[in-house]
Amino acid sequence: MRCPFVFTIVLFLFSCLSVNAQNQNILVLGSVVADQDSVNALVLEKDTTIEKRIYHKNPVKHFKPEDEIGFLLGSCALIGSPVRERIFTSMHKKIEKESIDFMLWMGDAVYLPDKLPHEPKKIAKWHEENVLDIETYKAYKKHFTKKQRRQFTSAIPNYACPDDHDLGCNNTNANYAHIHESTSCVFKHFFPNDQYPEDKMYYSYIWGDAEFFLLDLRSYATDKVWLGEEQVNWLEQELVRSQKNPAINFRFIVSGIPVINTIALDNKMSDMPDEYVDFMQRLKKHQIEGIVFLSGDIHYSELTMAESIPKTVTQKEPFEFNYPLYEFTVSALTSYRDIFVPIHNDSRFDQVKMLGDKKKTSLYKKNNFGSIKISGPANNRACTLALFKRNGNGIWTYSINANDLKIR
């Protein structure tokens, strides 16, 4: 999908509106552009982004095997009350006190307005009148000029995978490709990254001894697939390439919806069982090690672990994995809590270290954010997952050793 020419004009107009003084900066997540003239020149130069910042240049090359890596993660950031917005202040304090390298957004960083059209005729009309580009850009700008969000996102690099609200209506899919043509361009503008393949929103990047694979489960979704054959093939090839890199200990597959969790009431990858089983079979076939899934969307957080795909999904005998697979679901940052949370989840992993609450469970239903830290000697690396309340107080932690994610 090629960004419409009108998007260049939209960026130019809003860039001008964003500056009311010579020393005021233009917002680009993880970075700022200080000079208005240079911004205008860049906007007019080509129809991509105001600025494309390369957040890292091959960090593995300069990485010591025992160095610590740390990042924050979360999803579902509907603009909330002042109390809900304080979560970004808590996250900013984490950056000030601890070694945090970047923020990982796992879908729904932005909620596009309900007034965006869904019917083909109205979509075409909005395209013709240039309304779609403008309304989308206004929504993104509104989210990330909120004071607490702006302070947080400007402090560190930000990586993101899209989910439905980032791109269009609730549960948007390939049927809304005309909307995605505009909204995906705005998404890439606010999350600039030179790792995107041409015209795609899925990508991978390396940070230290970890590699991240961020998926797009909306642009190609139909009633039978989430990812589509091209994206599944890309992911397979990327993982095979990564497996050959001895410097990588952890491979984080980042999804806007749950992967290991097969009983979530809303969207989950196992809703498309044929594609899901095929995807897992490819992981097993190539003996990919070090996999940890990260996901959002469902408005509650939990840690899940499974050793197989259950019979309820395969409709046959359970499909065994090469080793236990973990999934850290973190949701929601500021959005409302989901009152329909499954009480029983056989894959929910509750053997976590609690940091205050008496009930021992990884399930948490209120606003929250997570962190992951990778540390330890080269031959014994571990990633420590942690979940935090809105005020920054810890809820639980759990450590996964890289050696436990290997085929024996």
Span 18-58, pLDDT tens digits:
433 333 333 444 433 323 333 233 232 333 333 333 333 33
What number of other Cβ atoms are within 10 A of residue 305's Cβ?
17
| Tens digits of residue pLDDT in 297-337 | 999 999 999 999 988 898 888 899 999 999 999 999 999 98
Choose among 179, 185, 180, 166: nearest CA to 117: 179
18's tokens: 């964003």
Q: Give the pLDDT mean for 156-165.
A: 94
pLDDT value of position 5: 42
Query: Phi and psi of 71, rounded to 5°?
Result: -150, 155
Q: What's the CA gap between 342 and 344, in Å, rounded? A: 6
pLDDT value of position 127: 67
pLDDT value of position 38: 30
Choose among 144, 146, 115, 111: nearest CA to 131: 115
Q: Give the pLDDT mean for 378-390.
A: 97
pTM exceeds 0.85: yes
What band does 120 get if pLDDT is binned at 50, 70 and 90? Answer: low
213's tokens: 């694979």
238's tokens: 């990327």
Residue range 54-405, CATH number: 3.60.21.70
The amino acid present at 341, given as its one-letter code, is V
